[in-house]
Structure 1
Amino acid sequence: MDSKPEAHAAAAYPRMSPEDLAPPPPPVVAPAGSNPYVLSSPSSGPPAKSTTENLREMLGSVGKRFGEAARKTEGIAGDVWQHLKTGPSITDAAMGRIAQISKVKAEGGYDKIFQQTFECLPDEKLKKAYACYLSTSHGPIMGVLYVSTAKLAFCSDSPVAYVTEDNKTESAIYKIVVPVPHLRSVTPTASQQNPAERYIQVVSVDNHDFWFMGFINYDSAVKCLQEAARGGA
């Protein structure tokens, strides 16, 4: 991953392969360790198997038509396609987005989800919420990045597996919380090999950095995060 910014180019729309539709293994990440901004909370369990299988079957049957249609679109559709391609499986990425949209509707919007997921100040207000991925050495983690008047916060869409000190595998919802006063810089970057792969690097005042990628609305996210790093207006 190259940290030098590059001009954006339209996302390419490759043909979907059987690997794109196959269920991937869950990412296994290291525990938070000494990073004060990484949190976790108990998982509520995976969705019902029948629902997952039905969604996968449905998406698999329309996958080829979706790929053909996506290749004919431009603009923000490029970000959507890149978002789906960021994960190890297009099917699971699409399933995740469907589940997230359903959750937002059922719970009354991102504001309520944000307040239920994170501890908030009495006068804290949510400014924006972005579907994206957190880049880790073990693979991208799908979730939502929230930008409020007080903090930048990320929450994974589903439980993430990790290995404990006694070599056991457990799972938990993966969270990141960086208070606005702790933000040092927000830098948009792109891969030199594939400019469609665009990232946002967030660095804290104590030099902890986080890489976010696969934004559905990348330009808006860059603007909002940079405003937050400057203190917001």
Structure 2
Amino acid sequence: MINHLDTKDNPYVHYSSASTSPNGKSDKMSEVLDRCGKRFADCSKMVEAAADGIWNHLKLSSSVTDAAMARLHQGTKLVTEGGYKKVFQQTFGFVDGDKYLDFFACYLSTSSGPVNGTLYISTKRVAFCSEFPLCYYPSPGEPQWILYKVMIAVDQLGKINASSNLMDPSQKYIQVITRDSHEFWFMGFISYNKAVKTLTDALQRSRA
């Protein structure tokens, strides 16, 4: 749930209405998982290799079950919507000359707590979208479902800082600072090192 919306001072944060709550996708997800069971089994070795990253990702959520379901839902997009390149373009629009590069499961730190979602990186944009619609109450008794989005043009990137919790080095973060001094903290990466490199490369390209 998002307690409040505040885009007044941050031009990179956006919200879009979602027609249904997360529960509306459960049947479709079940059908896809039934068809793709063998594919998940074939990926078991990769899952085991990434076990630490997956656990660090899941434990950020207030509900491990909800976080796990979000990741399963994310996986079904590859099958049902034609891959993450199309999901990225459908979510953030098409920009001429923009080349999709990669995506990363992670959390975005917000004033209402960590938001579970996906970070997309292309040659022209760094973008984040919540995995499920979030509940927001613009007025008492009138809930709305929204997608929480961040979109930063690569040429607006100022700094990419990698850091970790001194008390628990397994908790790693990526701070993205724009040229006009807006900050975004991403955490809970399953592929942290790759995410750092991809973001750093995007920053270097923007300066070139």
Bin for the TM-score computed over the shorter chain = 0.7 to 0.9
* Aligned counterparts of 1:222 and 1:29: Cα–Cα separation in 2: 30
Unaligned runs of 5+ in 2: 31-46
Q: TM-score, normalised by structure 1?
A: 0.74
User: Which fold has the larger relative contact order, with Cα–Cα distance below 8 Å and residues 6 or more apart in sequence?
Assistant: 1
How many residues align? The count is 190
* Aligned counterparts of 1:132 and 1:176: Cα–Cα separation in 2: 13
Task: Give yes or no for the alignment of 1:182 onto 2:156.
Answer: yes
List 4+ stretches of structure 1 deviating above 6 A.
165-168
Task: Give yes or no for the alignment of 1:104 onto 2:78.
Answer: yes
* Aligned counterparts of 2:204 and 2:11: Cα–Cα separation in 1: 22
Task: Give yes or no for the alignment of 1:218 onto 2:172.
Answer: no
1:139 to 100, 105, 113: 113
User: Over the residues paired in the alignment, what is the CA RMSD in angstroms?
Assistant: 2.5
State the Cα deviation string for residues 163-194 of structure 1 (Å, max 9, x = none).
Answer: 54899653310110000000000001111111
2:176 counterpart residue number: 202
Q: CA deviation at 1:153?
A: 0.4
Kindly indicate whether the alpha-carbon contact (under 8 Å) linking 2:77 and 2:84 is maintained by their aligned counterparts in 1: no
Kindly indicate whether the alpha-carbon contact (under 8 Å) linking 1:153 and 1:176 is maintained by their aligned counterparts in 2: yes
Q: CA deviation at 1:231?
A: 1.6
State the Cα deviation string for residues 194-228 of structure 1 (Å, max 9, x = none).
Answer: 11111100000000000000111000000000111
Kindly indicate whether the alpha-carbon contact (under 8 Å) linking 1:31 and 1:163 is maintained by their aligned counterparts in 2: no
Task: Give yes or no for the alignment of 1:28 onto 2:16.
Answer: no
2:133 counterpart residue number: 159
Q: CA deviation at 1:76?
A: 2.7
Kindly indicate whether the alpha-carbon contact (under 8 Å) linking 1:135 and 1:212 is maintained by their aligned counterparts in 2: yes
Task: Give yes or no for the alignment of 1:39 onto 2:14.
Answer: yes
Cα distance change of structure 1 residues 49 and 101 upon mapping to structure 2, 3 Å threshold: same
Task: Give yes or no for the alignment of 1:80 onto 2:54.
Answer: yes
State the Cα deviation string for residues 4-34 of structure 1 (Å, max 9, x = none).
Answer: xxxxxxxxxxxxxxxxxxxxxx343433222
Kindly indicate whether the alpha-carbon contact (under 8 Å) linking 1:161 and 1:170 is maintained by their aligned counterparts in 2: yes
* Aligned counterparts of 1:42 and 1:188: Cα–Cα separation in 2: 32
Q: TM-score, normalised by structure 2?
A: 0.82
* Aligned counterparts of 1:127 and 1:116: Cα–Cα separation in 2: 15
Q: CA deviation at 1:100?
A: 1.2
Amino acid at match of 1:114: F
Amino acid at match of 1:94: A
* Aligned counterparts of 2:199 and 2:12: Cα–Cα separation in 1: 17
Cα distance change of structure 1 residues 51 and 76 upon mapping to structure 2, 3 Å threshold: closer
Kindly indicate whether the alpha-carbon contact (under 8 Å) linking 1:133 and 1:140 is maintained by their aligned counterparts in 2: yes
* Aligned counterparts of 2:77 and 2:4: Cα–Cα separation in 1: 25
Cα distance change of structure 1 residues 209 and 196 upon mapping to structure 2, 3 Å threshold: same
Amino acid at match of 1:206: D
Q: Which structure has the highest helix share of the two?
A: 2
* Aligned counterparts of 2:192 and 2:15: Cα–Cα separation in 1: 26
* Aligned counterparts of 2:98 and 2:199: Cα–Cα separation in 1: 16
Aligned-residue sequence identity (percent) comes to 41
